[in-house]
């Protein structure tokens, strides 16, 4: 996910994206805990995507 794509979304879409990413993060953590996660780098990618979404949300909030 690119920051430029996120900047084109509105507040509601960013909230939905953040919720989806947090659900994915939870699912990956549970898979890791039960030894079912084959690609552990996915957790880091999701964490970085969450950080990107939160950064864009903060940028939009301070721009108002």
pLDDT the model gives residue 64: 75
User: What's the pTM value of the predicted model, to 2 decimals?
Assistant: 0.91
Measure the N-to-C terminal CA separation of the chain; round to a whole number of Å.
Answer: 24
pLDDT the model gives residue 63: 87
The pLDDT tens digits for 9-54 are 999 999 999 999 999 999 999 999 999 999 999 999 999 999 999 9
- The C-alpha angle with vertex 36 and arms to 47 and 51, in degrees rounded to 5, equals 5
pLDDT the model gives residue 34: 95
Nearest CA to 24 out of 44, 52, 8, 54 is that of 44
Confidence of residue 7 (pLDDT cuts 50, 70, 90): very high
Classify domain 3-63 at the CATH topology level.
Helix Hairpins (1.10.287)
């Amino acid at each position: 996910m690119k920051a430029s794509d996120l900047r084109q979304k509105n507040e509601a879409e960013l909230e939905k994206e953040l919720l989806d990413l947090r659900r994915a993060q939870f699912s990956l953590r549970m898979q890791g805990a039960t030894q079912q996660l084959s690609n552990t780098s996915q957790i880091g990618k999701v964490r970085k995507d969450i950080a990107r979404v939160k950064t864009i949300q903060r940028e939009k909030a301070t721009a108002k």
